[in-house]
């Protein structure tokens, strides 16, 4: 089935609890454990211990993981314990009752502000995730006669969509797929991604020729850049169209990295005559050529963005995608993108560009 970044998935990998993730269990246990430990220590000794000041930390610790009501409860318990003679905490010179009361009230105020801000952020994030998933919905496991597996890792944290995009659609002219990379990445590129994906989905329905479909993307981006006053808006794109019976595929490249054909243990880089990136205004002068590749049963296509093959290690060496695909040739399609991603992050720990991978496995006529 398809594999894409799920909402919150990237956050879980990249963020600690100090950066916004829910606090771990030990942080939630700190206030009650500290409270019990202080009481037990005082009751277990005959002489009063000068540790009452530690009670002032309990409301402050509760702010990290509890709401205003629970924080107020901890503060109230602390103030009550200070006035219990048996615990021997409220002795002159040991604890300043007014100071701890002020800390408890201030902690409740901080917890109230934090909880309201979290509720607002949850609402904003839910709306953002819905909008982003509308632009780039999850890839189905199979479209027509083509099995699909995709992986998407935006370079910018907290987002599901960046400057890369892909889609696979079935239409009256066959199954078509697209992968592209717009200028820039992050939220600033989402509008361009949405525009190009919308144009591609229209071509699936009414554009018979694949080169004409690429020309439609070029016209869409040229019009958008003119309206926005941005003359440097462009995108690379690779369009694929599977022939009836899934025994061949047509390729049209607009400045995009070359795809790979996985045929058993062999990995072949498919050479093509690419045209200029869409949106540059040179499409009519130097249009791309359409190449047809005959497919055999069991063949798979691996398409990736330049965030994969242009990633560098600490020495400046590029990621050897072709060599790695040869090593991973026996990997099933469902796990191949994840396997390449794990190897890529080990090769280049700091990846600054969007990373997109797509595995397309056509099922010939008569196959299951």
Give me the torsion for CA of 226, 232, 236, 239, rounded to 10°: 10
Average pLDDT of the chain, as a whole number: 84
Report the 10 Å Cβ neighbour count for 120.
10
For 99, the enclosing helix (H) or strand (E) is helix 97-135
Which has more confidence, 136 or 119? 119
State mean pLDDT over 45-69: 82
pLDDT per position as a tens digit, 162-197: 788 899 999 999 999 999 998 865 566 778 888 899
For residue 95, what pLDDT is reported? 55
DSSP 360: E
For residue 13, what pLDDT is reported? 43
**Is pLDDT at 120 greater than 60 in this prediction?**
yes
Whether 287 contacts 211, CB under 8 Å: yes
**Is pLDDT at 94 greater than 60 in this prediction?**
no
Residue 193's nearest CA partner among 237, 141, 145 is 237
Q: For residue 265, what are the CA distances in angstroms to 92, 195, 206, 299, 328?
A: 81, 38, 38, 10, 9
Q: Report the range of poorest mean pLDDT among 55-59, 227-231, 266-270, 285-289.
A: 227-231
Instruction: Give the separation between CA 277 and CA 191, rounded to whole angstroms.
Output: 18
DSSP string covering 56-84, please? GHHHHHHTTT--HHHHHHHHHHHHHHHT-
pLDDT band at 157 (very low <50, low <70, confident <90, very high): low
């Amino acid at each position: 089935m398809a594999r894409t970044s799920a909402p919150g998935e990237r956050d879980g990998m990249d963020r600690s609890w100090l950066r916004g993730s829910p606090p771990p269990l030990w942080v939630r246990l700190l206030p009650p454990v500290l409270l019990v430990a202080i009481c037990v220590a005082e009751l277990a000794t005959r002489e009063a211990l000068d540790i009452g000041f530690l009670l002032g930390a309990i409301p402050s610790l509760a702010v990290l993981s509890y709401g205003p009501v629970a924080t107020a409860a901890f503060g109230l318990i602390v103030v009550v314990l200070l006035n219990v003679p048996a615990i021997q905490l409220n002795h002159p010179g040991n604890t300043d009752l007014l100071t701890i009361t002020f800390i408890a009230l201030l902690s409740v105020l901080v917890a109230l502000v934090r909880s309201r801000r979290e509720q607002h952020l949850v609402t904003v994030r839910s709306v953002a995730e819905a909008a982003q998933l509308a632009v780039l919905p999850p890839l189905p496991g199979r479209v027509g006669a083509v099995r699909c597996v995709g992986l998407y890792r935006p370079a910018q944290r907290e987002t599901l969509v960046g400057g890369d995009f892909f889609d696979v659609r079935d239409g009256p002219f066959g199954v078509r797929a697209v992968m592209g990379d717009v200028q820039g990445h992050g939220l600033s590129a989402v509008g361009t991604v949405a525009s190009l994906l919308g144009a591609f989905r229209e071509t699936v329905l009414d554009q018979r020729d694949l080169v004409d479909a690429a020309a439609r993307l070029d016209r869409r981006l040229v019009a958008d850049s003119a309206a926005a006053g941005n003359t440097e808006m462009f995108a690379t794109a690779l369009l694929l169209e599977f022939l009836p019976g899934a025994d061949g595929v047509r390729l049209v490249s607009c400045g995009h990295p070359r795809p790979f054909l996985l045929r058993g243990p062999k990995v072949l880089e498919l050479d093509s005559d690419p045209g200029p990136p869409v949106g540059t205004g040179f499409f009519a002068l130097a249009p791309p050529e359409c190449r047809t590749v005959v497919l055999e049963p069991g063949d798979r296509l691996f398409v990736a963005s330049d965030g994969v093959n242009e990633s560098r290690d600490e020495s400046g060496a590029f990621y050897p995608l072709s060599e790695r695909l040869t090593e991973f040739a026996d990997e099933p399609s469902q796990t191949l993108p994840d396997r390449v991603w794990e190897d890529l992050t080990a090769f280049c720990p700091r990846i600054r560009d969007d990373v997109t991978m797509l595995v397309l496995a056509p099922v010939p006529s008569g196959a299951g």
